[in-house]
Amino acid sequence: METFSAPPYRIKMVEAIKQTTRKEREEYLRKAYNNLFLLPSEAVYIDLLTDSGTGAMSDAQWGALMQGDEAYAGSRSFYRLRDVVHKITGYHYFIPVHQGRGAEHVVLPLLAKRPGMYFISNMHFDTTRAHVELAGAHAIDCVIPECRDIHTYHPFKGNMDTAACEENILSKKPENIAGIIMTMTNNSAGGQPVSLENLRSVSALAKKYRIPLLIDGARYAENACFIKQREAACHSMAIPEIAREMFDHADIFLMSAKKDGLVNIGGFIAIREDEALFRAAQVRTVPYEGFPTYGGLAGRDMEALAVGLEEGLEEPFLVHRLDQVRYLCTSLRDAGIPVQYPAGGHAVFVDCKEICPHIPFDRFPGQAVCNEVYLEAGVRTVEVGSLLLGRDPETRENLQSPFEWMRLSIPRRTYTYAHLDIVARAVCSVYERRHALKGLVFEYESPVLRHFTARMNYE
């Protein structure tokens, strides 16, 4: 029998949540044009839309908020945060930004020096892919093929396929590769981790062909915990030690700190030693994010993030964090629900292509299942599939995602195992009537990141 760890904290403050009726949820969803992003939060009972900025801060973080220095330039909160980032990463240069997409907006166009270049990744997530394309570049995904077999165990399904990566470097020519991006953990692959061995191999490729290596590390601490648990050579290493070696193999770290930074807003750019890139990033930061010592953040936000980054590396917290995801994954898998196995770091990913084979990819089976789970129990989830992937930037044809996921993202330090039981029952209930679900078509579709604002109707 599997065992799951108890929370390494006790609850000090609570927020009331309210259950609604099925009839009320039907009206809420109708007014939201069948897009769960457009629901008001009071219409949601258990919110698993995202783990980004939705977690609970600690008493130490709340105390740090009161110490924020709100100086426009040279805030002492900036220097405190800079020092924590340097301690964790070893990188020399640091710029705060309002969140991860701010970091992408600043840095990626600096690497894509001319139109038509390429970024290679284990898998680009939505905002990263959008910023690659907005920079005039193309996104190439090279995740290992084992990732696509959801029912078979592999400890590091987020790994880069290094042979495919090198093949793309050679076919596109090294001078046309703007950067290699390692997404850790690999969100689009099911929150799956990347091994330290794989990162070393990718780093060797990047050095061989003189290509910058970036870590998209919103969930780097979760990835480090997986390495400790699953990579034999690392069992005896401390989590911060593993994280530091991860950063030793890369050149640039872009972070949405709303995940493993344990804050509700924030992010940063960290650069190992490329001073010219740092100076150029500072120039772009000023018009797009703010002065380089605040970058769109209040001093109090930087203080809370400085504490959160260190708390986010604590092993008891990470073990419980991964156990909550594993608990929900096990509950669904035991009930016969097709999920990405083993469990990822921040979410359970349900395979809606397998659940609804009668719904074509461009009618978005993942969205159909997500909507029905909301109607069933007021649980908000998110589609990570062809709706999120969008259209080919040149042909404007719908792209077909290799996965049609319903992602159940678990906020940090927020829900209990009992909440997850409710989620599991709702998904199982929808699964029983899966053949009756219908696909969706657009009423309105934005040209970029369409899933956030799309309006849809049932066929």
* Torsion angle, alpha carbons of 444, 447, 452, 458, to 10: 30
Catalytic site residue from 131, 259, 346, 419 = 259
CA distance readout (Å), 377 to 9, 20, 215, 308, 385: 28, 8, 37, 32, 22
Catalytic site residue from 91, 118, 125, 364 = 125
Say which residue the tokens 């990463």 belong to: 89
Burial zone of 209 (CB within 10 Å; 0-12 exposed, 13-18 middle, 19+ buried): middle
Q: In whole angstroms, what is the distance from residue 117 CA to residue 139 CA?
A: 9
For the question of residue 23 being annotated catalytic, the response is no
Other beta carbons within 10 angstroms of residue 207's beta carbon come to 12
Helix (H), strand (E) counts: the chain: 16, 14
- Given a contact cutoff of 8 angstroms between Cβ atoms, the answer to whether 436 and 372 are in contact is no
Output the six-digit token pair for 441. 């078509």
Catalytic site residue from 4, 72, 444, 458 = 72
Q: In whole angstroms, what is the distance from residue 250 CA to residue 383 CA?
A: 31
Rg (CA), the chain: 21
For the question of residue 451 being annotated catalytic, the response is yes
Catalytic site residue from 47, 51, 161, 216 = 216
Question: Within 13 Å and on the Cβ side, how many CA atoms surround 339?
Answer: 28
For the question of residue 16 being annotated catalytic, the response is no
Catalytic site residue from 32, 137, 218, 221 = 218
Catalytic site residue from 47, 126, 141, 351 = 126
- Given a contact cutoff of 8 angstroms between Cβ atoms, the answer to whether 381 and 48 are in contact is yes
CA distance readout (Å), 403 to 124, 148, 205, 299, 386: 13, 8, 28, 40, 8
For the question of residue 72 being annotated catalytic, the response is yes
For the question of residue 125 being annotated catalytic, the response is yes
Contacts of 108 (CB under 8 A, 6+ apart): 119, 128, 131, 132, 135, 137, 178, 179
- Given a contact cutoff of 8 angstroms between Cβ atoms, the answer to whether 147 and 190 are in contact is yes
Listed residue (334, 283, 288) closest to 131, CA to CA: 288
Q: In whole angstroms, what is the distance from residue 370 CA to residue 231 CA?
A: 34
For the question of residue 216 being annotated catalytic, the response is yes
Contacts of 411 (CB under 8 A, 6+ apart): 47, 48, 51, 54, 55, 56
Using N-to-C axis directions, what is the helix angle for 239-248 and 76-89, rounded to 10°? 90
Q: Is the bond leading into 162 cis (omega within 30 degrees of zero)?
A: no
Positions annotated as catalytic residues are 72, 125-126, 216, 218, 259, 451
